[in-house]
Chains A and B, each alone.
Chain A
Amino acid sequence: MRFTIAREKFLEPLQLAGGVVERRQTSPILANLLLNLEEDRLVITGTDQEVELSVVITDLVVGTPGEVTVPALKLLDICKSLPEGAGMSANLEGKRVAVDSGRFNSFLATLPVSEFPNIHTNAYDVSIELPVQDLKRLLKRTSFAMAQQDVRYFFNGVLLEMLDGVVRLVATNGQRLATSFVKTGVKGSHQFIIPRKGVAELVRVLDEKFGELVTLNFTANHMQVDRGNVRLITKLIDATYPDYLRAIPSGGDKVIVADRKLLKEALSRTAILSNELYRNVKLMLVEGKLDMYANNPQQEEAEETVTVEYEGDSLEIGFNVSYLIEALCAMDGDTVRMTFSDPGSACLLEDTEDFDSFYVISPMVL
């Protein structure tokens, strides 16, 4: 295997494919990138066995086609540290790859290509095409609410649901939920759970330089996204997602409308003196205002009053303040509507300018 390429052509693909490679791996081959050189193109692939990302480079001088795997981080570091505008060559010599540029010569260790675990997919059953802007927005509104390393493994991902001409994303960790949808011409009804890492990599390939539309292709077990010369394949979480509709509170009769930024800032201040572990903050609804209060085992306390639009009975209810702040950060509008019913029921949050998203947060007993 032998090729010659300009540093600037090589660097970004290496960064994209190398980004999937985990710092600590269960097997040495997962620290390597697969370089597959054909007559006129080079395919660079990185994987962590859950997510695989490959980039095709066509603009290079191919000497001899072939395949090899090399340490991802070292190849990336070498490419990065070469001067701008430099050319470089890679040449398989025995079991090592010679990487040369100008008066710099190096040899990188390789591992057998046969050990490299490519993700094998079947022909996909379902495809949807979306404007990139829409998918980015859906992800911003929802992905923060995923769980992290939860034993209920289906919570460690985002649900993508297609139903009645609507694509909806849902994320929850069991205590709070976020969902947002967009109308498309999608037919049939399907549910797929994209794992946390797949979501993160998806965001990386949504750059608009790859086009304003994105197609997501699904098999029962995989999602594949082709963006320009980049292909992302992620495994899906094989599980039934809980019925999110049941989590959505109905019958709330206490509705407040507040300035989103002011509310977020007041919560951030009050949060400082909440219990560091539970992060609980008490909200008190009174006509025309929302009082918030937090204290901690050191007997420290903080309170603040925010003016809101509210007419109705008083209510006292506790929440994890981080959940409130994160939901408010996922919105873009100036005002937020919060709907409560009683201290034991979840609160519904909505951006007053966004009719397609909402957020549910379970209360905490204080």
Chain B
Amino acid sequence: MKFSVNREILLKPLQQVAGVVERRQTLPVLSNLLLQVSGNHLSMTGTDLEVELIGKLEVLSPEDGEVTVPARKLVDICREIPEKADIEFSLNESRLEIRSGRFRSTLSTLPAVDFPSVDQSSSEMTAELDSKSFKKLLDQTAFAMAQQDVRYFLNGMLIEVGNNQVRAVATDGHRLAMSDLVQEGIDGPGKQVIVPRKGVIEIQRLLQEVEHKVVVSIGSSHLCVISAMFTLTTKLVDGKFPDYDRVIPKDGDKVVLADKQELRQALSRTAILSNEKFRGIRVSISTGQLQLSANNPEQEEAEEIVSVEYKGDSLEVGFNVSYLQDVLGVIGNEKVRITLLDGNSSAVLEDPECEKAVYVVMPMKL
């Protein structure tokens, strides 16, 4: 195997692919990248057995072959090579030699046959999406995913494709985020899959680098995101996602319209003196105002009044302040609409000008 490539062409895709590789692995070969040269194309693959990312690019003076090399060291070396320099790679016996100018190094390798590939399932549905809109959809909801929850199906995001839209839903059992992306031409009834947390994060990272369109392809056990240069494959979580529609309260009658920035700042001030572990905050609404109050075991307390548009009965509800802050962090409007029912019911938060995204935060006993 042999090829030559300019540092500026190689470095970005290499870093992207190596980003999938976990710092600690169960198998030595998982800390490696698979390099394959065929014709004048180099294909680089990184995996953690759950998510696989392949980057393809054109190289010069190629000679077919394949090998795996340590990902971290390969990235470090290419990064330290002077800008715009050409780098030559050649496989000599079981070592990969890297040369650039008067620098020469050899990296240890492991056989390409040992490199695990994520099994592919045949595609059952594909959709072409604008990468910016797709990224926005994920960014608006990903924060609500659970982390290392025993209900493993919550450690991911529900993606529903069909009925001319893509819907993303995430919940950790205490709050829920749902967002829709309308896309004409996606026929058929909705197909639901759960993408694991790491898969979602890697798709977000990939979409940052991709302009224009990506193709999303869904199989029975995999989801692929394909761009001109990259193919990302993630396993799906085999489980039943909660019926999110039942979680979204529909009977709230107390509607508060608040300035998002003002409410967000008041929350972050008040949160300073909330219980550091439980992060509880009391929200009291009455005509024209919303009052926030928090206290902690050190007998410290904070309260703030925010003017809002509201007419109706007074109500007091407790929430985890971080959950409210997370939602306000992704709402893109200057205003936020909060719909409440009573002290034991969840709050619904929405961008009043965009009904595509809905956020639900469960109350907490204080």
Residue ranges of A at the interface with B (Cβ–Cβ < 8 Å): 71, 74, 77-78, 81-83, 96, 103-109, 265-266, 268-270, 272-273, 298-306
Give 1 or 0 for each of B259-272: 1 = CB within 8 Å of chain A CB: 00000011011101
B338 at the A/B interface (Cβ < 8 Å)? no
Q: Once the chains bind, are B304 and A104 in contact (CB under 8 Å)?
A: yes
Residues 100-116 of B at the A interface (beta carbon under 8 Å): 102-108
The interface residues of chain B lying within 8 Å CB-to-CB of A273 are 73, 77, 105, 107
Most buried by A among B73, B95, B106, B300: B300
The interface residues of chain A lying within 8 Å CB-to-CB of B303 are 104-106
Q: Once the chains bind, are A306 and B102 in contact (CB under 8 Å)?
A: yes
Q: Once the chains bind, are A305 and B102 in contact (CB under 8 Å)?
A: yes
B80 at the A/B interface (Cβ < 8 Å)? yes
Question: Given A96-B300, A300-B108, A103 and B73 touching (CB < 8 A)?
Answer: no
Q: How far is the CB of B261 from chain A (nearest CB, A)?
A: 10
The interface residues of chain A lying within 8 Å CB-to-CB of B301 are 106-107
Q: How far is the CB of A359 from chain B (nearest CB, A)?
A: 22
- Among A78, A83, A304, point to the contact of B272 (Cβ < 8 A): A78
Q: Once the chains bind, are B103 and A302 in contact (CB under 8 Å)?
A: yes
Q: Once the chains bind, are B269 and A104 in contact (CB under 8 Å)?
A: yes
Q: Once the chains bind, are B265 and A83 in contact (CB under 8 Å)?
A: yes
Q: How far is the CB of B67 from chain A (nearest CB, A)?
A: 14
Q: How far is the CB of B305 from chain A (nearest CB, A)?
A: 4
A74 to B298, CA, bound (A): 12
Q: How far is the CB of B69 from chain A (nearest CB, A)?
A: 9
Closest to A273 in B: B105
Q: Once the chains bind, are A74 and B80 in contact (CB under 8 Å)?
A: no
Closest to A78 in B: B272
The interface residues of chain B lying within 8 Å CB-to-CB of A105 are 302-304
B76 at the A/B interface (Cβ < 8 Å)? yes
Q: Once the chains bind, are B272 and A74 in contact (CB under 8 Å)?
A: yes
Q: How far is the CB of A298 from chain B (nearest CB, A)?
A: 5
Known pairs A106-B269, A300-B105 / 18 extra A-B pairs, C-beta < 8 Å: A71-B300, A74-B272, A74-B300, A78-B269, A78-B302, A83-B265, A104-B269, A105-B302, A105-B303, A107-B302, A109-B300, A269-B103, A269-B105, A273-B105, A273-B107, A299-B108, A303-B104, A304-B102
Q: Once the chains bind, are B299 and A304 in contact (CB under 8 Å)?
A: no
The interface residues of chain B lying within 8 Å CB-to-CB of A272 are 73, 76-77, 80, 105
Most buried by A among B73, B103, B266, B304: B103
A301 to B102, CA, bound (A): 14
The interface residues of chain B lying within 8 Å CB-to-CB of A268 are 80
